[in-house]
Amino acid sequence: MGGQSLLDRSLGPCYASAMPFRIAMLGDVVGPSGVQAIEQQMPQLRQRWQPDLVIANAENAHNGSGLTPSLYERLLVSGVDAMTLGDHVYRRSAITQVLETKSNIIRPANISHLAKGRPWMKLSVIRSGSNRDQPAIAVYVITVLGRVFSSLPANDPFETVESVLGQLPDLNPIVVVEVHAEATSEKRAMGYQFDGRVAAVIGTHTHVPTADAQILPRGTAYITDIGMCGPYDSILGRRVDRVLKHMTTGMHAPFDVAEGDPRLSGVVVDIDEGTRLSVGIERIEIPADLSKPPFRAATKT
């Protein structure tokens, strides 16, 4: 079971057919400041990098855990085209209806087949400029949970991706695999396992961006973790004082979401339309401006 969404975003006539297809993938959206950072900085992202498609992992958008229908709509309005979810996929039960009815959002593929939602999605993207007369470009997105250092009841991510690739209806499609996992070794193993067979293997979940963005030997873009869209004056998005109290005393402390130093973080991946493999990957990180909306009301003049 999969889904298809048709996206038509105009980027202006400067986008030539010879340019690679560009995807922006944004890291875990953490709490209100993560949503606000995307709302504020999306215009800059689109103007500077001109992506054909923007995907975000939105599983921490609601106060650090889960996604609600209203936040799903809010992220769409901000300019996010499609969303993935991870281990907190069902933390907010209201999102189940969205998962069942919308074709641009997916759950992890390697949980029970009885779970609500799509295990992969097909996004049909119409490029701007001279490409507008050409057929839409199909992009398939798959998210899997890791199993190393995790107690989640997830199936084998390697076997799951193999199975999904065998189900895709298009020949030689553009495929992006997101690995939502704790262990760097497991993420890198996924990268090499599918090198040359998918356009990108992108790591998420740990909220800490890594410095290993690269094109693997057979043409797959890879990074272990793209970080988070959220408060970097924090411990993985949570208030420093609360986490330190728990770690230094063993006493319970609510891990409230932090607010300071919000940033938009992720990668842009350039994909050759002919080979369906990648020719470039660049990590992006854009600090939010706390003096401007939506963080602060505009100053009246």
Active site residues: 88
Token pair 């030539």: residue:
16
Question: Which residue, among 154, 159, 161, 155, has the nearest Cα to 176 in the 3D structure?
Answer: 161
Q: Are 278 and 271 in contact (CB under 8 A)?
A: yes
Paired tokens of 65 = 């855990």
- Tell me which residue has tokens 């993985």: 236
Cα(84)–Cα(119) distance, rounded to whole angstroms?
10
| Alpha-carbon gap, residue 268 to 270, rounded angstroms | 7
> Phi/psi class of residue 158: alpha, beta or left (left: φ > 0; alpha: ψ in -120 to 50)?
alpha
Listed residue (82, 272, 108) closest to 196, CA to CA: 272
How far apart (Å, rounded) are the C-alpha atoms in residues 138 and 155? 27
Q: What is the 3-state secondary structure (H, E, C) of 24-64?
A: EEECEECHHHHHHHHHHHHHHHHHHHCCCEEEEECCCCCCC
Measured in whole angstroms, the distance separating CA 284 from the mean position of its chain's CA atoms is 13
Q: Rounded to the nearest 5°, which phi and psi values hold at 208?
A: -115, 115
State how beta strands 221-223 and 214-215 pair. Answer: antiparallel
Prior bond to 294 cis, omega within 30? yes
